[in-house]
Amino acid sequence: MTKDELKNISVEKQEGSAVKITGEIPFEHLARHREAAVKHLAKDIEIDGFRKGNIPEKVLVERVGEGPILEEMANRALQDAYPKIIEEHNIDVIGYPQISLTKLAMDNPLGFTATVATVPEIKLPDYKKIAGEINKDKESADVTEEDIENQIKDILRQKTAYERLQKKAEQAKEGEEAPTDEPEGEVKDEELPELTDEIVKTLGQPGQFENVEDFKAKIKEHLEIQKKQEVESAHRAKITDAIVEETEMELPKVLIDAEIAQMFGQMEQDLTRAGLKIDDYLGHMKKTREDLVKEWTPSAEKRAKLQLVLNEIAKQEDTKPDETELKNQTDALIAQYKDADETRVRTYVASVLTNEAVMKMLESQ
């Protein structure tokens, strides 16, 4: 479409941070897609005397009529024109548009409307100041001797409880009754065995620990990794929660719906791996999909707001992912998921890397 044709398209703001695009596409633009439309329709139709996918246009028209061909031409013309309209009118869209054809006739312009959510106006607070204040009180990720001792007690407690259960199972198998003085319930600290080299060698995988000193060193190493992750995750949540709380925006419903759809998708994957169906699971829980939507909506709103806030901060800070890292991670994911769409994978990786860069900037304040 020409510049003038694109400018003749009208754009009206709607409630909920959406816009309604209204206009016409000259029939000549539809006509350019006729050959592709005919081939697309012909590939699924079988007619005696012709190979599937090799049906002449005249024969196809006699079979299906002009209507389906014209609709396919219109859809293709809109797919071609829509990105150009968005670019020409500088519309920052979110998700896919809801398109309605208002006029479709041979040799006439195609009339259409398209309603689509847009990135809302976002009024950020002083996010660097907020992050700086929260950073002053960041919890230490250092592992103390008490942390190590508590972890060791938990491991010994689990070992002792397991051995008791094993002993009871063996006694039951042999028809013996458990002694009346046999300890019951939770294992108390005074019931734990002394930590010795011999005990340590029975823990974990065979040969994993050489002696008490080696065991404690590896416990500390594991706790340091775990605690660092937990502290960083909690600290980042405090920063983003505070910034989101002070941010003003009108959240598009389409983003909330997308988050909820993602939650349902994740739930179905988890249930499928467990050999369950979502409807059976909901029946067992005595809940409906509508119940879950209601429960999940606050969390979905929070997640959607967070992503918009991170995007806006990245825009204001001109934060972009490193191109080499972006390419390497995109290539790695495509190698792992060979059927994945490269553009979608690259967009996903770019978002993850950008979010990480924004969070590191906020943590440095």
Residue 5 has a pLDDT of 79
Residue 221 has pLDDT above 80, yes or no: yes
- 153's CB contacts (< 8 A; 6+ apart) are 189, 192
Rounded to 10°, the helix 342-363/289-317 angle is: 70
* Whether residue 147 has pLDDT greater than 80: yes
Q: Count the alpha carbons within 13 Å of 153 in the hemisphere toward its beta carbon.
A: 12
Taking the C-alpha atoms of residue 7 and residue 150, their distance in angstroms, rounded to an integer, is: 69
Kindly tell me if the per-residue pLDDT of 38 is higher than 70.
Answer: yes
pLDDT given for residue 310 in this prediction? 94
What's the pLDDT score for residue 235?
Answer: 95
**pLDDT tier at 46 (50, 70, 90 boundaries)?**
confident
Among the listed residues 365, 363, 351, the one whose alpha carbon sits nearest the alpha carbon of residue 320: 351
Residues present in the chain in total: 365
CB 128 within 8 A of CB 48: no
Mean pLDDT of 35-43: 85
Q: For residue 183, what pLDDT is reported?
A: 66
Average pLDDT over residues 302-314: 93
Q: What is the C-alpha to C-alpha distance for residues 66 and 61, in angstroms, rounded to an integer?
A: 6
Mean pLDDT for 275-287 is: 90
Q: Give the whole-angstrom CA distance, residue 20 versus residue 102.
A: 13
Burial (CB count within 10 angstroms: exposed 0-12, middle 13-18, buried 19+), residue 281: middle
Q: Which residue has the higher pLDDT, 66 or 123?
A: 123
Output the pLDDT for position 76.
92
Q: Give pLDDT tens digits for 164-213.
A: 888 888 887 777 665 656 666 688 888 888 999 999 888 888 888 889 99
Average pLDDT, the chain: 89
Give yes or no for residue 304 having a pLDDT over 70: yes
Residue 80 has pLDDT above 80, yes or no: yes
Q: 307-311: list long-range contacts, CB under 8 Å, 24+ apart.
A: 307/255, 307/351, 307/355, 308/119, 308/120, 308/122, 308/249, 308/251, 308/255, 309/122, 309/124, 309/240, 309/243, 309/244, 309/247, 310/240, 310/354, 310/355, 310/358, 310/359, 311/119, 311/354
Question: Which residues are CB-contacts of 359 (< 8 A; sequence separation ≥ 6)?
Answer: 236, 239, 240, 310
The band of 63, judged by pLDDT with boundaries at 50, 70 and 90, is: confident
Q: Are 154 and 234 in contact (CB under 8 A)?
A: no
| Res 50 pLDDT > 80 | no
Three-class SS string for 216-275?
HHHHHHHHHHHHHHHHHHHHHHHHHHHHHHHCECCCCHHHHHHHHHHHHHHHHHHHHHCC
Domains of the chain plus CATH, in order, are 3-118 (3.30.70.1050), 145-220 (no CATH), 252-363 (no CATH)
pLDDT of residue 119: 86
For residue 258, what pLDDT is reported?
Answer: 85
Residue 324 pLDDT grade (very low, low, confident, very high; cuts 50, 70, 90)? very high
